[in-house]
Amino acid sequence: MDRKMTIFWKGMLSLSLWILSLGVFAQAITVRGTVKDVNGEPLAGVTVLVQGTTTGTVTDIDGNFVLEGVAAGITLDISYVGMQGQVIPVNGRTTINVVLMDETELLDELVVVGYGEQRRREITGSVTNVTAGNFNQGVTRDAADLLQGKVAGLDISTPSGDVTEGSRIRLRGVSTLQNDQGPFIVIDGVPGGDLQTVAPQDIESISVLKDASSAAIYGSRSAGGVILITTKRGSGLKPRISYDGYLAVSTLANKPDLLTANEWRDYARETGKDTSVYDKYGASTDWFDEIIREGISQNHSLSLSGGGSNNNYRASFNYLDREGVVNDNYLERYNFRFQLQQRAINDRLRIGLTGSAAIGEWNEADNYNFVLAYNMLPVYPVKLENGEWFDTREYDQGNPVRNQTYNKNLKKNVHYYGSGDILFNIMDGLDIKTMLYKERQTEERSQYNHSETQAGRDDGGYALRENKIWDKNLMEWLLDYTTTFGSAGKHRLNALAGYSWEENEYSYTKAANRNFTTDLLGADNLESGQGLRPNDVGSERNMSRLISFFGRAHYSYESRYMLTATLRRDGSSKFGDNNKWGTFPSISVAWGISEEEFLKDIKCINDLKLRVGYGITGNQAGLDPYKTLQLYGTSGTYYDNGSWLTAYKISQNANPDLKWEETAMFNVGLDFYLFNERLNGTLEWYDKRTTDMLYTYRVPTPPYLHPDMMANVGDMKNTGVELALNFNAIQTRNFNWSTSVTLAHNKNEVTSLSDDTYTTSRIMVGDAWVRGGSGRTTHVIEEGYPVGQFYGPEFVRIDNDGKYVFRNKDGEEVNSVTAEDYTYIGSAQPDLTFGWNNQFNYKNWDLSFFFRGSLGNDVLNMGRMTYGHPGYLIGANALDDPLVHQLKVVPEYSSLYVEDASHIRLDNMSLGYTFNTKGIDWLERARVYATGQNLFVITGYKGLDPEVDANRNNGLAPGVEDREYYPKSRTFSLGVSLTF
Amino acid sequence: MKKTIKITWISVVLVLMGGIHSCTDLDETVYDTIPADQFGQKPAEINAIIAPIYKTLKNLWPGNFFLLSEQTGDMAITPTRVGGDWWDGGIHMDLKLHTWEARNGLINDSWNAAMSGITTSNQIYATIENAEMDLELKERTLAEIRGIRAFWYYMLIDYFGNAPLVADYTSTDLPTMSSRQQLYDFVVSELNEIKDLLRDDVTSESYGKFTQGAAYTLLAKIYLNAETWAGTPNWEGVIEATDKVMSLDYIIEPNWKTNFEVHNEVSREIILPIAFGKADEGNHLHKRTLHYLDPIALGINVGTWNGVSAQPNYVKQFDDADPRKEGSFLMGPMIDPATGNVLITAHARPLIHTVDFNIIPGTIKEGMWGEVNQEEGARANKWVFEKGLANSDQENDFAIFRLADVYLMKAEALLRLGQNNAEATRLINVIRQRGFGNNSHNYTTATLDDLYLERRLELAWENTNRQDMIRFGRFLNPGYLRPSTSPVHLLLFPIPEAAWETNNNLVQNPGYPAF
């Protein structure tokens, strides 16, 4: 009996001890602690969660946290943005102090490269990545506006103040003479996209593939570099709703200084001319003011994102309404986008669907109204006293306000696409992916010139309707294999193989009519016109196809020695029969110097990488479909027995040898991250050689039917240096200052224009047309000189007779020169382009300002040449310029008008305040901001703006401010962004 | 089970194999133009293919050769207006002052126009030669093409003298120069071979085509200038050819203006026209010649360029009683129909088209050439302005050859030979009487000078001025704004520099700086 009781009591003791121990662990305790960073600074806002529950707290401003009533056996999950998280079992402790380490996030950042992603550490080519936080703010139309000045060597210029006109993008100089389209655009992996289809608010990051070794995988379209745009994706972590909206006001930044009414009267008095014929209205009109307004713009952007463990989605809507400063110029655009991704079969299958639609409407400015505004006398009124419009039939004169009020040139554009992609993980490390893509863009134009306005009076009213459709079908297959081998996974290998099939079709119709009895119908009832001509009705259609095979292999040893090789074979239906397929290889190596033993201990160097790459890329933007064939096309009409019939003629000289242009680039780069990544940057040098440049060469007739022939003949060279530096100068708890600079210098030279069959030593291009001065060219394309080389007479001074004095080839001063005396009088190519950004953060405030500019480029001031002389005074107006009093001859192109357009521009200044939303659980982020764009320009250039259209004349005669230039505007915007 | 797997695999392989071709297929489907091997077998298509040879004629007038002919002679001038309009680097001044050189744009464009005409003819000849069509029609069509080609060589002989002779489209060698004599012989032989293969009717079906009348008229022109171009005169040849033309159904239209109306395709005096239409590249002389505000006075709606005018001395040789004076020249004040007042120009001057020019002091460019006021100069009034014209070119055809010219050619040949003065005088009188509208100004015995004058009265603006002056030995004489005699080498234009740049086989004409 005693033995039984002992066993019982022993059992009871164990049981109670066990129950007691349970109690101990189940006992509610209070855990306290402080979270600090490596510098000993307390961290506020650190999330401290009880793992497996939703209980948790956040550290306060001193880094302290308190968790009350928690079990002693819990584990704490500590996380903070930009830091490496920690998981700490409490084990009954009541005080836990934590030190969080910085995440070396920049180096481990995933960067989008061609057909995939790579860690920044591993990249062997020249890739610059810009994320949403660094984009330009304010009124932005498309991705190009976000990037302006941010990437060294990527030159994005705004051609004019027209809000419907896109930016001109050039990477590392001009490398073609024909239809330079700039870099190749890839949107979410789909090649050949249009920047207009992506609202800026939807963009997550933009990668620019600058050298051939990174771009060559895109083959025959990548010679101008590649811009990869990645849109925002939903994440499965937290559902989110974002709203971003702004309101902006634009005003004209710079107006030409024309004679005012009184200045004109003074001039007429000085020269003794009779003004009674003109000055009978008692008016004083500033014609530029009359055609200009304040443009009000607004933008609203709404996005939803979220997901679960198996899927994620994002949908967004964006509305942009942008008014230009010219009365009838505006752009209105709706963007819709949705993306969803779902995983299945144990996460091995991933299917994604994307749809996007951009619906836009815009009215381009009729630039001829600027010519009218320049010429119309300031003593003419806009309207007569009885309310009728004032008008005149004089040459280059008419009422521009009347034009703007009654005429329209409206374009409606719908651009939509859908794509589906399937990714299947066949086995460990091996993925197969296919993408199918369908895109259609339609553009409808409706133009009407009212019969009483200057633009429509000769036709008695002119109406035009045009319709364009672009269709693209794309199919892509990819096989992606990644593996590591060797001890501790030191060797890493990634291989990619792909196939792509793309077909493009374009179709166009037009119908026009003129001589309408009434203007009320506009262009909406073409039948009612009475002046139909045979060529008022037309249609066109063409197609082209591109088929590619490509592959890449990337090998890395410990992120210390890395090698990437790519190969692409492109076949295009646009190439001639003799050259249908082209091959584009590339290879690049990188040496992670900082991973070496001798540098591993040097703490201040986080990463030092040397990269060398070489590759061959191509360009086929200069080729239209069917260019290589012998074809019959219509050739006007002919008279036959009382009627007019259509004539047909061989429409071009056929060239079966036509092919792509080839650009080989050699690139050396050094990436460095120093002082805990506070100072980082890249220094690069490149040498870019373009061969087989397309150009239209003169051929003799006979024996050729047409006097020109497009052929691959010339060579061009671009060499340059780029530096991008980023310095986080001050980083304290309350105040941050970071500054970044990009500098680029590119030297462009045409190295050859001839081969055995086609020879030309020099091509005169550009048009220096002024009234009475037709037939003069402004630029020359010549071996040994850059594109954009101005060529003409060297100006010395204006003599007492009001004549130009030039220097002839013997150095003498003469009044008139011939073509033999012309010389090289300037270059549109800059010596240096730069951007400088500063970002300040003080508590919840942020301030940034951004300068960009260029040095050493020249611009031909055609506005001054055309309107800065007294030849047509007093019947037409002129600039208030000393030349008006000095010059007595017809204006002539010379170095007088080629001015230095070096400039620095405060392009963007932004002040923002982020509200403290920690107390509000339903609001994640709220920020208000004010932005000013194009605030001021410092330059010696006398014209309207030193940055002009680089695409003028197909890019062959850049650096010219035309006589009908649309001046740029200054914009102020106020915006708010909220995230729920 | 096994069987289904097998079938599945076989079908997969077959699909893949079938697909393999399409996955590398780069064949182009051509939509809006026609591959050359698919077009040109049906009669309507053949007609459409021949048409471009007639379109090349549009490059003859009123640009290019028109300016080279009338402005280097003493008929027309494009002065530089106050402010600089039409200065254009002096290309028009060079034509008037006889100071042109191989880089002159107008000379270059004219050369290219001729070369394009010849190459187009050669190419179409090669296409038609291989076409399947009715044999008689084919022969006639080929003759038409050779006729147009011969015409362009005639232009080259007249203006440039020496030029490459290319009669074969398939040859791809860069051609070499042939001499004026060689080109002359070629044109004569071509015309003689084709002249009887062409149609000889004068109907609306033959209008606009190269007919037998055109071939004989061209032959007459060649022979008329034989002394200048080939060294030995051939006036008899002229008489023979012109007789043949006069035996065909052409008439001297009783109303002189019928030849210049908007719808002058009804004129049976026109032998070879440039058939202009409004649709593509029409008659744009009205744009070249009228002042910016003239359309208001004339009732047309067109933007004009205020360029070419007549030289004063040419206008003054007309008798005021001759309706052809006002029929050729637009002179005097231009009235605004709405107000009844004279229009005022942008320089506050009344828009009165004076015959004389007053060079504004202090504006001399070179020699005696300077700026003149916008409104000065008699303008071209010959081709009737179409009232209500809406912003387009005009469709008045231009008569390259017309019967009046043929009459005067025969008269000239007779006078040169000293034969049959009665017939020569009769021919001149037909023209003179039709021009004046009465016979009070007829000649009893005509001289060569009378003939020369009559040509100038009848054919103002019609591309005969330079050729006639050279033939009569007056081209190099001092003239308006040009006080000294011109050097002999200027009787030929220089081969354009741009032409030599694409074909180094070309050799520059004597007297000009060598290439």
Put simply, the answer to whether B49 touches A630 (Cβ < 8 Å) is no
CA distance B44 to chain A (A): 10
**Per-residue pLDDT, A349:** 92
Q: Do A539 and B49 touch (CB under 8 A)?
A: no
Give the gap in angstroms from C-alpha B185 to the nearest C-alpha of chain A. Answer: 20
Is the per-residue pLDDT at A238 higher than 80?
no
Structural element, H or E, at residue A908: strand A903-914
Q: Cβ A703–B119 below 8 Å, yes or no? A: yes
CA distance A120 to A245: 33
ipTM above 0.85, yes or no: no
> How confident is residue B4, by pLDDT bands cut at 50, 70 and 90?
low
Q: Which residue of A has its CA nearest to B85?
A: A772
- pLDDT at residue B260 above 90? yes
Indicate if the pLDDT at residue A871 is higher than 60. yes
pLDDT digits (tens, 9 = 90+) for A662-679: 999 999 999 998 887 789
Residues of chain B contacting residue A893, judged by C-beta atoms under 8 Å apart: none
Distances (CA, A) of A332 to A404, A408, A596, A753: 18, 15, 55, 44
CA gap A975, A201 in Å, rounded: 13
Between A263 and A46, the higher pLDDT residue: A263
Which pLDDT belongs to residue B49? 84
Per residue in B98-128, pLDDT (tens digit) is 999 998 989 999 999 999 999 989 988 988 8
Which of B16, B29, B173, B281 is the mutation pick for testing A, counting most A CBs within 10 A? Answer: B29
Most confident by average pLDDT, A5-14, A200-209, A706-715, A954-963: A200-209
Confidence of residue A558 (pLDDT cuts 50, 70, 90): confident
User: What is residue B380's predicted lDDT score, i.e. its pLDDT?
Assistant: 95
Residues of chain B with pLDDT > 70, as a percent, come to 95
| Overall average pLDDT of the B308-318 stretch | 95
Cross-chain Cβ contact B32/A704 below 8 Å: no
- Distance from the Cα of B25 to chain A's closest Cα (Å) equals 8
Specify the range with the lowest mean pLDDT, choosing from A123-137, B232-246, B474-488.
Answer: A123-137
End-to-end CA separation in angstroms for chain B: 85
Please tell me the predicted confidence (pLDDT) of residue B402. Answer: 95
Rounded Cα gap, residues B286 and B395, in angstroms: 11
Average pLDDT over residues B219-248: 95
State the DSSP H helix or E strand holding residue A900, giving kind and residue range, or none if neither. Answer: strand A898-900
The whole-angstrom distance between A226's CA and the closest CA on chain B is 25
- Is the pLDDT at B63 greater than 70? The verdict is yes
| Confidence class for position A26, pLDDT limits 50, 70, 90 | low
pLDDT of residue A34: 86
Measured between beta carbons, which residues in chain A are less than 8 angstroms from residue B392?
Answer: 533
Query: Which residues have CB under 8 Å from B187's CB, separation 6+?
Result: B150, B153, B154, B157, B218, B222
Distance of CA A825 to the CA centre of its chain: 31
- What is the structure's pLDDT at A421? 93
Q: Amino acid letter at A22? A: L
Longest dimension (CA), chain A: 144
Q: Which residues of A touch B49 (CB under 8 A)?
A: 632, 647-649
Strand pairing category for A491-514 and A537-557: antiparallel
**How high does pLDDT run on average in chain A?**
87
Question: Under 8 Å CB-to-CB from B275, ≥6 apart: which residues?
Answer: A638, A639, B54, B207, B208, B265, B397
Structure letter (DSSP) for residue A800? T
**DSSP secondary structure of A260-278:** -HHHHHHHHHHTT---TTT
Asked whether the predicted pLDDT for residue B144 surpasses 80, the reply is yes
Measure A352 CA to nearest chain B CA, in Å.
Answer: 25
CA distance readout (Å), B236 to B176, B191, B509? 33, 17, 31
* Of B55, B105, B503, Cβ closest to residue A700: B503
- Say what percent of chain A tops pLDDT 90: 48
Q: How far is CA A937 from CA A144, A500, B50, in A?
A: 20, 46, 60
Neighbours of A443 (CB within 10 A): 16
User: With an 8 Å Cβ cutoff, are B115 and A636 in contact?
Assistant: no
pLDDT higher than 60, residue A1: no
CA angle B180, B186, B187 (to 5 degrees): 90
pLDDT > 70: percent of chain A: 95
DSSP state of A183: S
Q: What mean pLDDT value characterizes chain B? A: 90
Q: What are phi and psi of A713, to 5 degrees?
A: -130, -50
pLDDT in tens, A576-621: 888 889 999 999 999 988 888 887 777 788 888 999 999 999 888 8
Specify the 3-state DSSP secondary structure of B261.
coil
State the pLDDT confidence band at A35, using cuts at 50, 70 and 90.
confident
Residues in B closer than 8 angstroms to A772, CB to CB, are 80-81, 83-88
Distance from CA of B125 to the nearest CA of A (A): 12
| CB-nearest partner of A647 from B27, B48, B166 | B48
Q: In this predicted model, which residue has the larger pLDDT, A495 or A89?
A: A495
The pairing of beta strand A75-79 with beta strand B329-330: unpaired
pLDDT (tens digit per residue) in A795-814: 999 999 888 999 999 999 99
Instruction: Give the model's pLDDT for residue A23.
Output: 47
DSSP states of A588-653:
EEEEEGGGSHHHHT-TTEEEEEEEEEEEEEEE-TTPPTTTTS-EEEEEEEEEETTEEEEEEEE-S-
Which one of A647, A871, A875 has the shortest CB-CB distance to B51? Answer: A647
- How high is the pLDDT of residue B24? 82
Residue located via tokens 């000055």: A279
pLDDT of residue A83: 67
Chain pair A-B, CB pairs under 8 angstroms: 241
* Residue A444: predicted pLDDT: 96
Q: Does residue A516 surpass a pLDDT of 70?
A: yes
Are A556 and A562 in contact, with CB atoms under 8 Å apart? yes
pLDDT surpassing 70 at residue A81: no
> Searching chain B, which residue's CA lies closest to the CA of residue A892?
B89
pLDDT tens digit sequence for A922-941: 888 899 999 999 999 999 99
Which residues in chain B are contacts of A507 at CB distance < 8 A? 31
Question: What per-residue confidence (pLDDT) applies to A864?
Answer: 93
Instruction: Enter the pTM of the model.
Output: 0.82
DSSP string, B268-315: SSEEEEE---SSSS-B-HHHHHS-TTHHHHHT-B-------EE-HHHH
Q: A775, B164: Cβ pair inside 8 Å?
A: no
Confidence of residue A38 (pLDDT cuts 50, 70, 90): low
Using pLDDT thresholds of 50, 70 and 90, give the confidence band for residue A173. confident
- Partner-chain contact A626 B30, CB within 8 Å: yes
Could you tell me the maximum CA-CA distance found in chain B, to the nearest angstrom? 116
pLDDT, residue A875, reads 85
pLDDT of residue B373: 92
The 10s digit of each residue's pLDDT in B438-492 is 999 999 999 999 999 999 999 999 999 999 999 999 999 999 999 999 999 999 9
- Pick the residue from chain A with its C-alpha nearest to B30: A542
Task: With a cut of 50, say whether residue A550 has pLDDT above it.
Answer: yes
> What pLDDT does A10 receive?
61
